[in-house]
Each structure stands twice: as C-alpha cells, then as structure tokens.
C-alpha cells in the first residue's frame, strides 16, 4: 500500500502557470474533456451559483471527475463587478484544486485564472475544428480582454488564418491587445476595430467573448456558412447573439443542463424563439461520432460554450505534471495524519 502520509500539496501562482502547456495542448485537453462528456465517462453537475445582494457579482463552484485522465478538480470562481475601481483587483479570478480521486488528497492548489483563459479559448478552438468550414480564412474575435488572448492563441492552432479582426468598444483596450498579442504571430496582422458590424461581416468564424446582457451581434451581419463560437454568456440573462440568428442555425452546446439556464440559448429559450428540440446536440456527441456537426457549406453553426468543469479536470493533471518536472511552485504539507 502506498504511503501518502508525507505527500505535499503543490501551490502554483499565475506566473508559474503561464507556459506550462502550449496552446495546442490546451486544445487537446479540452477536446478530451468533450470526448469524455460524449461518452458519459465523467461526473459533473452544472456549475453552482452563489449570489449576494450586497455585492454585485457572484461565486461559481465547479467540481468534476473525469475517467481519462483519471482526475478530479474543483474551481472556485469569484466575480465582483466593482473590484477594478475599488480594490485594483480583477473582476473575475479563480482558484483550482486538483485532487487524487482515490484518496481525495489535494495534489495541487493553483491559480485558475490563466488556466481558464486558455481552456476557454480552447472551447472556441475545438468547436472551430469540428464545425467550421475547412476553407475558413477570416477570424473575428468580439471582445479584447484576457479571454480573447486565449482565443486567438488556441484558434491559431486550428486554421492558418489570412485575416484576424478584433473588436472592442474601447480603443485603449484594443491597443493593449494588439501590443501584447501581435508579436506572437507573424503570418497575419491583427486588425483592431471599434465598428462591430464591420468586424463581423464576411468572417468565416466569429468568437464572442463579452459579458453582454443583450444582443450585440445581429443576424443580418452573419453570412451563410459562418461558424460562431458563443463563449461570453455564462449566467442567466446573458446574451450576445440576436435571438433570430439561432432560429435558422445548427446549434450545439457544451452541456445542455448548464446551457439552458446559463448559456447563449437561455434567452432565446425563455423568449420562445427556439425550443430544446432546435438544439442539434452537445459537442461531445460530434467528437465521438454520434452526431454530425456541420452538414453543408452554407449552414450557420453555433457552439454555445458556458465553460464546463470537465475542462478543468481534463487539463490540470498535465499542468501539474509539467510544474513538478520543472520544479516550480511551492510544496506544502496540507494534510496531517
């Protein structure tokens, strides 16, 4: 019998998480999460929300277990809308606990924020791989915050883009994004814009990454054959796409239980514009071959990504392995026998 009495827990901050995995490895991990979801080889409930009237924002609790890799994790997400102006803290940040499934031992406690940026970007990238037209060349990213930084890096692993457009309301945000991200890419120029319609029109793939509480992407702007990864909506009332855009599209979700209340489909469902019968399926069913993704070059495909806990338990084992091999972080004895 293995003796765990002297095992320690690895603690990693944000700076130590950066660079442990390459963008294509995040894509592989997230695709594996969706595959396990499609095969039913997991345990996960929809994310839990704790909302207090006295503080604008919420907490989200995201536990999961995945069979392959054999792992369990729980992410605790804090969202506080006044953090920037009052406390010089991020609006959204998280802590991730990686646990050995058999013993329950906490193998690692790590910053979940950079991890989430990359695995969220991979949600868009994996959906693009499985649902976008194979001749896709033009990428539009709606939103220029941290999540967009993950999306451009992970989507770059899927297609060789000839044009990448990025939209934000603020020029300062766009300038910062281009300054940070353009040096990473030499085969395309990032084209920033504060004109949303101009950014979206003619794009082959559109990735939306905003906290919008009402439609900002209009149906008339979307060309036949476009793939949309709707990533921003992750709580009740969030919406980025005009509802009628969903009516004629082929829609897939990451987890229907979560998306019906938190995802891009939540508002159109509540409005009666679509019903659950209009949802083609979950992305895991496409990856496992149970359902077809895109069925024609003219079809508009939409992936509703709320971000599922399974993405965390599929990714953190490799991050932990790399960190241990590199000798980064602090090990601390957390469990007494």
DSSP 8-state symbol, 57 = E
Q: CA separation (Å) from 188 to 163, 192, 195, 209, 233?
A: 6, 12, 20, 21, 28
Rounded Cα gap, residues 17 and 113, in angstroms: 9
Rounded Cα gap, residues 325 and 19, in angstroms: 13
Which one from 47, 75, 138, 235 is the annotated catalytic residue? 75
- The two tokens of residue 306 are 């709320």
Q: Are 239 and 264 in contact (CB under 8 A)?
A: yes
Q: How far apart are the first and last CA of the chain?
A: 16
Tell me if residue 75 is catalytic.
yes
Which three-class secondary structure state does DSSP give residue 192?
strand
Q: Are 298 and 133 in contact (CB under 8 A)?
A: no
Closest CA to 132 of 229, 30, 230, 259: 229
- The two tokens of residue 258 are 């979560």
146-155 vs 23-39: helix axis angle to the nearest 10? 90
Q: Give residue for tokens 């803290």.
A: 89
Give CA angle at 133 (130, 134), nearest 5°. 85
Rounded Cα gap, residues 172 and 177, in angstroms: 9
- The two tokens of residue 236 are 């009740």
Q: Which residues are catalytic?
A: 75
């Amino acid at each position: 019998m293995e003796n765990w009495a002297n095992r320690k827990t690895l603690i990693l901050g944000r700076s130590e998480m950066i660079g442990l995995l390459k963008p294509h490895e995040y894509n592989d991990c997230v695709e594996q999460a969706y595959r396990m979801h499609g095969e039913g080889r997991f345990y996960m409930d929809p994310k839990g929300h704790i909302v207090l009237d006295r503080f604008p924002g919420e907490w989200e609790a995201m536990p999961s277990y995945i069979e392959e890799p054999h792992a369990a994790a729980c992410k605790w997400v804090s969202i506080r809308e006044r953090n920037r102006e009052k406390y010089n803290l991020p609006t959204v940040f998280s802590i991730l606990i990686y646990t050995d499934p058999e013993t329950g031992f906490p193998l690692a406690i790590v910053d979940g924020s950079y991890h989430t940026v990359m695995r969220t970007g991979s949600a868009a990238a994996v959906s693009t791989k499985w649902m976008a037209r194979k001749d896709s060349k033009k990428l539009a990213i709606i939103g220029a915050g941290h999540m967009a930084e993950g999306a451009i890096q992970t989507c770059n692993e899927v297609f060789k883009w000839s044009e990448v457009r990025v939209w934000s309301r603020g020029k300062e945000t766009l300038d910062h994004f281009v300054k940070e991200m353009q040096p990473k890419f030499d085969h395309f120029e990032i084209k920033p814009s504060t004109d949303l319609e101009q950014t979206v029109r003619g794009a082959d793939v559109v990735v939306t990454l905003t906290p919008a509480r009402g439609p900002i992407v209009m149906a008339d702007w979307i060309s036949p054959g476009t793939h949309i990864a709707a990533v921003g909506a992750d709580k009740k009332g969030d919406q980025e796409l005009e509802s009628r855009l969903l009516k004629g599209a082929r829609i897939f979700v990451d987890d229907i239980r979560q998306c019906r209340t938190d995802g891009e489909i939540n508002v159109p469902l509540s409005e009666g514009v679509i019903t659950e019968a209009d949802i083609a399926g979950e992305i895991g069913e496409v990856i496992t071959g149970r359902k077809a993704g895109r069925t024609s070059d003219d079809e508009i495909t939409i992936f509703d990504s709320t971000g599922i806990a399974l993405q965390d338990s599929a990714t953190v084992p490799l991050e932990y392995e790399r960190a241990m091999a590199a000798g980064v972080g602090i090990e601390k004895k957390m469990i007494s026998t």
